[in-house]
Amino acid sequence: MSQPTSKRRMIGSAVILIVVFAAIFVGRQGDIEPGWYTVSSDAMGTTVQIKLDAASQEQLQELAEHGFAAVFAIDALLSDYKDDSQLSEANRDAAARPVTIDPDFIAVLEEARRIADASGGAFDVTVGPLIDLWWLAVKDGVPPSDSAIAATLERVDYTALELDGNALRFGKPGLRLDFGAIAKGYAVDKAVAALKEKGVPRAIVDAGGDLFVLGLQPSGNPFRIGIEHPSADTPLCVVAIADRAVTTSGVKRRYFEIGDVRFNHIVDPRTGRPVDEAVSVTVIASTAMLADGLSTAVMVLGREEGLALVDRFPGAEALVVTLSGADSLRVFPSAGFGQYLVE
Ligand code: AMP
Ligand code: MG
């Protein structure tokens, strides 16, 4: 395995890293032509990678800049780390006055609502106050009390989000939007759309587990994507996909640790507690936003209800992984997941 060479390039204020691609997917993915490149940048609270083949550094630079511009725009709009994002503005002001939001904000909100409705509120982007409560518990080293959870649940209710045209209002005080379960997927979709606009025939955009595969390999075969194992470093399985998104949600990447206990970073808005049935969920869907949102929703609903939810979204498939006993994984695929499995 040759050592990748790398160059740093600047795009606006963001640093992107261009790496000769050949070695990147070894172990994770099969037969990619050498000469592919990976361009990475920190965005959306993770590392975003765009993988594509280009005839020259100049072309690579141009395409990568175009793809990342789409990601950075969504990050600037929907980040809850940035005080000047529209999401932060809504969280600050929408209980007091209508806040005008952009079409991209509306698109994420509407998809979030669709998944929330379909999942009976298991998926809920107003989960913010609960997430804050659990982070506070991590800091204090003590799980939140039942009464604190009950009080916080009063402030979790996506049905109180009122959208009138492009004006968003919170119909209840104390709500906080958290797009952590869905915005990365949307940013991936926007980057893919930007690359398509430039005529890019094939690319992979990966935002830390939320990825979209555009087109086929030069050989005409679909790309092979290794599905993250919930505990080991080797892939759990390999899927072959084209023009589809694949997302994995799980406790491995992010979690709350209180004392010695590791809790899932996904919280059930019906109980106020971290979910514990599935250890990971992979969803394949037509958009990365849907795959991202559904994978989180299925984590909350668990195997049976979760797979039933996925069945209601045409073209979406899921793989639910549970842990029974010390180390024994059980894997439950949706009816059509097998069509993508190659290993
Ligand atoms: P993901 O890694 O895509 O599954 O998203 C997890 C993130 O989504 C968490 O870090 C929270 O910010 C947020 N989240 C947690 N629980 C929920 C939920 N029940 N519905 C919607 N978003 C959630
Ligand atoms: Mg998600």
The response to whether residue 119 sits with its C-beta less than 6 Å from ligand 1 reads no
Q: Whose CA is nearest to atom 11 of ligand 1?
A: 180
Q: How confident is residue 230, by pLDDT bands cut at 50, 70 and 90?
A: confident
Of the chain, the percentage scoring pLDDT greater than 90 comes to: 74
The response to whether residue 61 sits with its C-beta less than 6 Å from ligand 1 reads no
pLDDT of residue 34 exceeding 60, the answer is no
- Between 91-95, 100-104, 120-124, 246-250, the lowest mean confidence (pLDDT) is in 246-250
User: Residue range 157-169: average pLDDT?
Assistant: 98
Q: Report the SS3 class of residue 98.
A: coil
pLDDT of residue 7 exceeding 50, the answer is no
In this structure, the chain runs to a length of 343
pLDDT at 195: 98
pLDDT at 146: 97
- Between 14-28, 237-251, 276-290, the lowest mean confidence (pLDDT) is in 14-28
The response to whether residue 111 sits with its C-beta less than 6 Å from ligand 1 reads no
User: Residue range 263-278: average pLDDT?
Assistant: 92
Q: Which two tokens stand for residue 23?
A: 């070695």
The response to whether residue 176 sits with its C-beta less than 6 Å from ligand 1 reads no
Phi/psi at 177 (nearest 5 deg)?
Answer: -70, 135
- Average of per-residue pLDDT values in the chain: 88
Q: Which ligand is nearest to the CA of 300?
A: 1
- Tens of pLDDT, residue by residue over 196-222, are 999 999 999 999 989 999 999 989 999
pLDDT at 218: 87
pLDDT at 128: 96
Q: Which atom of ligand 1 is nearest to the CA of 185?
A: 3
Pocket residue to mutate for ligand 1, from 80, 124, 265, 282, most atoms within 8 A of Cβ: 265
The response to whether residue 155 sits with its C-beta less than 6 Å from ligand 1 reads no
Q: How confident is residue 326, by pLDDT bands cut at 50, 70 and 90?
A: low
Q: Which among 153, 154, 158, 156 has a CA at the least distance from the CA of 115?
A: 158
- Kindly provide the residue ranges of all beta strands, DSSP E only, lying in 12-149, ordered along the sequence: 14-20, 36-43, 46-53, 99-100
| Unique residue bearing structure tokens 């395409």 | 63
Q: Whose CA is nearest to atom 12 of ligand 1?
A: 180
pLDDT at 20: 41
Q: Whose CA is nearest to atom 5 of ligand 1?
A: 181
The response to whether residue 80 sits with its C-beta less than 6 Å from ligand 1 reads no
| Residues 231, 253 contacting (CB under 8 angstroms) | no
pLDDT at 136: 92
pLDDT at 232: 86
pTM: 0.90
pLDDT at 253: 64
pLDDT of residue 31 exceeding 60, the answer is no
* Cα 100 to ligand 1 centre (Å): 24
User: Residue range 163-175: average pLDDT?
Assistant: 97
- Tens of pLDDT, residue by residue over 117-147, are 999 999 999 999 999 999 999 888 999 999 9
* Cα 183 to ligand 2 centre (Å): 8
CA distance 170 to 42: 31
- Between 203-207, 236-240, 325-329, the lowest mean confidence (pLDDT) is in 325-329
Q: Which ligand is nearest to the CA of 78?
A: 1
* Cα 286 to ligand 1 centre (Å): 20
pLDDT at 124: 98
pLDDT of residue 226 exceeding 70, the answer is yes
Q: How confident is residue 302, by pLDDT bands cut at 50, 70 and 90?
A: very high
- Between 3-7, 15-19, 184-188, 333-337, the lowest mean confidence (pLDDT) is in 3-7
Q: Which ligand is nearest to the CA of 283?
A: 2
Q: How confident is residue 104, by pLDDT bands cut at 50, 70 and 90?
A: very high
Q: What does each C-alpha distance from 179 to 28, 215, 223, 257, 286 come to in angstroms?
A: 28, 28, 29, 21, 19
Which one has a higher pLDDT value, 330 or 251?
A: 330
pLDDT of residue 170 exceeding 70, the answer is yes
Cα four-point dihedral sign 48, 178, 229, 136: positive
The response to whether residue 283 sits with its C-beta less than 6 Å from ligand 1 reads no
* Cα 296 to ligand 1 centre (Å): 6
Q: Which two tokens stand for residue 338?
A: 């097998």
Best-predicted range by mean pLDDT (10-24, 49-63, 289-303): 289-303
The response to whether residue 115 sits with its C-beta less than 6 Å from ligand 1 reads no
